[in-house]
């Protein structure tokens, strides 16, 4: 079994890549954000914290990861984790113990492009497919309705400018040492996803996936 760890700022396209690898290679995805959003439906404190864009404690995240990793049967993507150096180091141990090989992919996107994507992002509450109402190529066929599930799309509460800037700040603050760590263990790859047409980014991702 193998895993791809995406390191990427908010709205860099992780969800789109996860969808692509799911369709083409049957990859599963572990998104700590999705798991936490589900928990937050029943946990007001968690919901309020997430609304601000602040990070959730390493302890909670690592417990989630421990449980989730034990259930994986196919190759998978880690979307949104690790976000701190401590998470990264412990995650490496967990993956090694389970004999899961992993590659790290950093998705590079400029801040203004990210903000535009965040402000247009809408998600299907049933299948989690992500659309973008600001970008023609990523709009649903029918206004605000998921193409697959035919239910109304929802906007994330933290997809506003203030909480985006907070999330980006958190990402930049911790991201540097996480990147340094993966570079130090020779496991670091970069793809650029600034363009609306992500064909080249997908091709680069596949090259990384298929390289020895
Ligand atoms: P995401 O969907 O990945 O953008 O995550 C949404 C929110 O969930 C983040 O802003 C954090 O509050 C929380 N979160 C998700 N993953 C993590 C993580 N690995 N460490 C800490 N907080 C996280």
User: 77-91 pLDDT, tens per residue?
Assistant: 999 999 999 999 999
Average pLDDT in the chain: 93
Alpha-carbon torsion angle 19, 119, 148, 204, nearest 10: -20
| Alpha carbon of 98 to ligand 1 centroid (Å) | 24
What pTM, to 2 d.p., does this model score?
0.86
Peptide bond into 82 cis (omega under 30): yes
pLDDT at res. 158: 87
| Alpha carbon of 193 to ligand 1 centroid (Å) | 20
Query: With bands split at pLDDT 50, 70 and 90, how would you rate the model's confidence at 200?
Result: very high
**What contacts 204, CB < 8 A, 6 or more positions away?**
191, 192
Ligand 1: lining residues by beta carbon, under 6 Å: 10, 32-33, 36, 50, 53-56, 61, 80-83, 87, 158, 167
pLDDT at res. 130: 87
What percent of the chain has pLDDT above 90?
79
What is the number of the ligand 1 atom nearest to the C-alpha of 82? 19
Please say whether the beta carbons of 77 and 30 come within 8 A.
yes
What percent of the chain has pLDDT above 70?
100
Please say whether the beta carbons of 162 and 115 come within 8 A.
no
pLDDT at res. 40: 95
**What contacts 22, CB < 8 A, 6 or more positions away?**
28, 29
pLDDT at res. 85: 96
């Amino acid at each position: 079994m193998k895993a791809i760890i995406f390191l990427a700022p908010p709205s860099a396209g992780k969800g789109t890549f996860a969808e692509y690898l799911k369709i083409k290679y049957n990859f599963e995805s572990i998104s700590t954000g999705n798991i936490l959003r589900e928990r937050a439906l029943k946990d007001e404190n968690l919901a309020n914290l997430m609304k601000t864009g602040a990070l959730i404690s390493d302890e909670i995240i690592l417990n989630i990861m421990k449980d989730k990793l034990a259930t994986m049967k196919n190759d998978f993507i880690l979307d949104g984790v690790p976000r701190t150096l401590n998470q990264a180091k412990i995650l490496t141990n967990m993956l090694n113990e389970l004999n899961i090989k992993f590659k790290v992919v950093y998705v590079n996107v400029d801040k203004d492009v990210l903000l535009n994507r965040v402000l247009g992002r809408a998600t299907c509450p049933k299948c989690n497919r992500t659309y973008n109402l600001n970008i023609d190529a990523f709009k649903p066929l029918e206004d605000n309705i998921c193409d697959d599930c035919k239910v109304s799309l929802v906007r994330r509460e933290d997809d506003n400018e203030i909480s985006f800037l907070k999330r980006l700040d958190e990402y930049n603050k911790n991201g540097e040492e996480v990147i340094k760590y993966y570079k130090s263990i020779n496991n670091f790859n970069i793809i650029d996803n600034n363009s609306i047409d992500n064909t080249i980014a997908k091709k680069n991702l596949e090259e990384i996936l298929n390289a020895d």
